[in-house]
Amino acid sequence: MSISSPLGGGDADRDEDRAQIILITGLTLAVLFVAVVLLLNTVIYTENLATRGADAGGAEAIEFRDGVTEDLAGILHREHRNASDGDVFTEFNASAETYAETVADIRARDGVIADVRVRGSTVEDGYFIAQNETESGLRNMTAPDSNAADWTVAGNATRTRNFRMTVDPTSLPESTSGAFTVVADGTTGGTNETWSATLTGETDGNLTVTVENATGTTNETFAPRPDGNHTVDFTAGTVNGEPFDALFWAEAVQTESEPHPPYNIRYENGDAAEGTYHLVVDNRDGGADADRSSRPYVTEAVYSVKVEVGHRTPELTYRDVIRLAPGERDA
């Protein structure tokens, strides 16, 4: 007969204590894990809020910059058409200063410090060439003095922007033979390449644009605008606002590399189309007179200028320098 020791229960007590310690440790670790997860979530949430705030502020600043660019482009085009004394930059700079003051006042109401400054030292001079509608109606595309059908609009240009033409389709022939053609002709000192766009009319009032470059010929037909006319934006590559991929201004003639090689802008068969047009070039030899009363006419212009834009809020300070040259081929 065996007798149990009174100390034998100690092992059971130790096992029970050990189990309690393990349980308490597990609970403690669980609490710690929960605390760590909550802390990490708080950090991530805070960072997300900060990022969202910065993104929102950045988007507002970019929107402001783009709006300024569009507005100043409109002001510059207006001054080219309306400047009375020929000093387009002076008129543009004065209008830009008035615009900047107005924008600053409006933005200040929302707690934004807005700043727009034209850098006068960055002006690139150019020439604005235009033909408007006369009192008797639309004029043909011949030279201003001699009425020559084939003539040079701008010689030795290296860059062209905002070249837009509106034509009456009823004035256009249906055949490309003898049809009005816009030509960008690389000079001997340039690329020696030639690019052209020919405009022909259809019996239903549609317009066919035929583009010829170094790689071949492409044409496409477009329906008229509501007023029955057609607008060809040569540097934007659109007809009545519709993209025309082949209409890539002066392809292989005007280059992006500096120094830009010169080329001539010519009209052929100018007596085979009636309409209006305007363009800005950085240089020109010959062409129309610098007289607003003539059709077409030429005035000194601003080809490009740089503008400093600032937009500051409590969350973000944004500054950028934009080059204002509206209607460039790749703009």
CATH of the domain at 220: 2.60.120
**Site of tokens 């003639």:** 253
User: Structural domain of residue 235, as residue ranges?
Assistant: 133-294
Domain annotation covers residue 188: yes
> Across residues 262-266, what is the average pLDDT?
95
Residue 40 has pLDDT above 60, yes or no: no
Q: How far apart are CA 59 and CA 66, in angstroms?
A: 11
Instruction: Please write the tens of the pLDDT for every residue from 128-165.
Output: 999 998 888 899 999 987 789 999 999 999 999 999 99
Domain annotation covers residue 30: no
Higher pLDDT: 91 or 34? It is 91
Instruction: Please write the tens of the pLDDT for every residue from 297-329.
Output: 888 899 999 999 999 999 899 999 999 999 998
Residue 34 has pLDDT above 70, yes or no: no
Domain annotation covers residue 170: yes
What is the number of structural domains in the chain?
1
> Across residues 199-204, what is the average pLDDT?
95
Higher pLDDT: 316 or 183? It is 183
Angle at 246 between CA 240 and CA 251, to 5 degrees: 115
Domain annotation covers residue 173: yes
Domain annotation covers residue 178: yes
Instruction: Please write the tens of the pLDDT for every residue from 71-90.
Output: 999 999 999 988 665 689 99
Q: How far apart are CA 82 and CA 79, in angstroms?
A: 5
Other CB atoms closer than 10 Å to residue 66's CB: what's the count?
A: 12
Domain annotation covers residue 207: yes
User: Which residues are within 8 A (CB) of 315 and not within 5 positions of it... i.e. 6 or more apart?
Assistant: 53, 54, 57
* Confidence class for position 229, pLDDT limits 50, 70, 90: very high
pTM score of the predicted model: 0.79
Domain annotation covers residue 191: yes
Domain annotation covers residue 160: yes
Report whether 184 contacts 190 (CB < 8 A).
no
DSSP-derived letter for residue 83 is -
